[in-house]
Amino acid sequence: MNMRNFFILIFSIFLGIALGYALQSTSSKNLRTLQSLYDEAIRIIQNYYVDEEDPADLIEESIKGMLQSLDPYSEFLTPEDLEKLKTTTTGTYGGVGMEVRKQGNNVVIVSTFEGTPAYRAGLKPGDIIVKVNDTTVSNMELEDVVNMIKGDPGTKVKLTILRPGFTELMNFELIREIINVPVVAYYGILEGNVGYIRFTQFSQGSSDKIASAIDSLRKLGAKKFILDIRGNPGGLLYEAVRVSNLFLDKNSIITFTKGRTPDAEEYFRATEKPILDFSVPLVVLIDYASASASEIVAGALQDWDRALIIGDTSYGKGSVQRVIPLRDNYAIKLTTSRYYTPSGRSIDRTTKTLKERKEKIKKDNTLLFFTKRLNRKVYGGGGIVPDIVIEQKSEPQIIVKMIGEGLFNEFAGEWKKKNPNITNFEMNEDIYNEFKKFAEKKGYSSSELDAVKDKIIKNLDISISEMINGSKGRYEKLLKYDDVVKKAIEALSKAKSTDDLFNYLKAQKNE
């Protein structure tokens, strides 16, 4: 990082903190003093700094620093930023299909979108982007990093990743695509007349697509349902309300917001009859990458004891941002309120890690709440804690490396060329041995491959099935290996009503 960028970084952080403190202060003298110091700092820089700086650039950077000091979601938008925000919210762009955020000096992946290059490559929420095309991105502006990752469809971008819990850096070479984020990535019938819906984003009309999927599954014989919103980063609030309304009785509170001003308090209720009767058994799957609108749905269904929630604790993004226009096409995206579940739990997470959150719950009795119908214990503190927790497991580093290098997809493509007429694919030992020879030519040893044989078989089964039958083939195999889905099917297997699910839960806790 050059001297100019370093100086601007330090300057903006200092001014951001100072002005943020001053604006909260009740002392007008303190505010006037700091405003005077601000003007004086600009003048000193203009007169004495080694390079000539544009005061307008310095002030712009200082405003950015002030907004960044508030929370991760508030930001100062230049005219260019505002235009890009409008573009990215349309749902279509050229890139690799992931959401990233600045955390300190690091650029961190928040989520990847189903079916996109980033998702297929195995990039995960929490991964730290160290380099883009061999250029170190720490301390770079988030906008600059995003622009480096985006590009023309068909072109390549190399990402160097540090995954928490791993010591070695991992390289992923992705081919950019036009990103059209799907709403319902897959739906189908699982064993026991269970209808399964994979729901990936709360965009305009998504509730109608879920309703259509439910209708189709009922015609195929579904009597019970799984709504899978793992990895769903959220989206439109009114779609979260409408999705919840598909399962909750009319007039049920779905979520409410509170802020500093009276107009920030708003209640959102179900306005129509549900398309599924309250008694129809429903399981909702969530994980750490389920955020925002996903948490509104999961929290509402949990608080009304309408669905059993299974998976890992959700992200904890429960704040509302307003884009407030300023003069000359500038704007501020500002957090103005927070979301709460029907029982009063704040969705917004204030701790940095899930471990800290769990410790906070143990010590803070104010985080204990009760569900609306069955009076079950649930906890606030940010994010939605599932009724049955199944923590996400990291893949072995060798598997992550092979996925990043595209080995499974490359082998699957070659295998399909050799077997063009096979439609009903079943994984076997011969295919594994064939892959071993293929991987050994890429530099992997027989012993390290055999050590993760079960993981390799799983990925081969999924990749070859996808190569033959597209996303349908992928999901049919993926769900077979999914421990969270298996638990959901177990819970639903003997359930004839919603209350049967909670009797199952009670029995699980008494074991």
d(CA 381, CA 357): 7
How far apart, in Å, are the Cα atoms of 510 and each of 303, 304, 433, 493, 507?
Answer: 21, 22, 45, 19, 5
Q: What are the angstrom distances between the C-alpha of 356 and each of 299, 307, 500?
A: 21, 27, 33
CB atoms within 10 A of CB 352: 9
CB 289 within 8 A of CB 111: yes
Here the tokens at position 351 are 């701790």
Is residue 1 pLDDT above 50, yes or no? no
pLDDT tens per residue across span 353-377:
767 777 777 677 778 999 999 999 9
**What pLDDT sits at residue 504?**
96
pLDDT for the residue numbered 206: 92
Top-level CATH class of 92-179?
mainly beta
**Other CB atoms within 10 A of residue 371 CB:** 19
Q: Is 317 a catalytic residue?
A: yes
The answer on pLDDT for 64 being more than 50 is yes
Question: Average pLDDT in the 175-192 region?
Answer: 88
* Share in percent of the chain as helix, strand, coil (round to 5): 45, 20, 35
Six token digits for residue 417: 């060329």
Q: Is the pLDDT of residue 313 over 80?
A: yes
Report the pLDDT value the prediction gives residue 53, as an integer from 0 to 100.
Answer: 85
Could you give the C-alpha distances from 282 to 165, 273, 298, in angstroms and in order?
34, 17, 11
pLDDT in tens, 317-361: 898 888 999 999 999 999 999 999 999 999 998 776 767 777 777
Q: H/E/C letters for each residue in 165-223?
A: CCCCCEEEEEECEEEECCCEEEEEEECCCEEEEEECCECCCHHHHHHHHHHHHHHCCCC
Query: Are the C-beta atoms of residues 306 and 278 closer than 8 Å to each other?
Result: yes
Torsion of CA 89, 93, 97, 98, to 10 degrees: -40
Check 303, 305, 348, 461 and give the catalytic one: 303
| % of the chain with per-residue pLDDT over 90 | 51
Mean pLDDT of the chain: 87
For 394-445, how does the pLDDT look when each residue is reduced to its tens digit (9 = 90+)?
889 899 888 878 788 889 888 988 998 888 889 999 999 999 999 999 999 9
Q: Which of 124, 224, 317, 458 is catalytic?
A: 317
Query: What residue type is assigned to position 322 of the chain?
Result: R
Produce one character per residue of 75-91: b if its CB has 16 or more CB atoms within 10 Å, e if not.
bbbbeebbebeeeeeee
CA dist 140 → 13, 79, 111 (Å)? 14, 20, 20
pLDDT value, residue 449: 97
pLDDT of 120: 87
Q: What mean pLDDT is predicted for residues 151-163? A: 90
* Mean pLDDT lowest among 8-17, 118-127, 162-171: 8-17
* CATH top class, domain 184-319+336-389: alpha beta
DSSP assignment of 405-416, as one string?
TTHHHHHHHHHH
3-state secondary structure of 82: helix
Active-site residue (options: 12, 111, 206, 292) = 292
Domain edges within the chain: 3-70, 92-179, 184-319+336-389, 397-483
Nearest to 298 by CA among 347, 334, 331: 347
CB-CB neighbours of 455 under 10 Å: 16
Residue 505 has pLDDT above 50, yes or no: yes
Residue-level pLDDT at 331:
93
- Measure the CA–CA gap between 453 and 51, rounded to whole angstroms: 59
pTM (predicted TM-score): 0.78
* pLDDT, position 116: 87
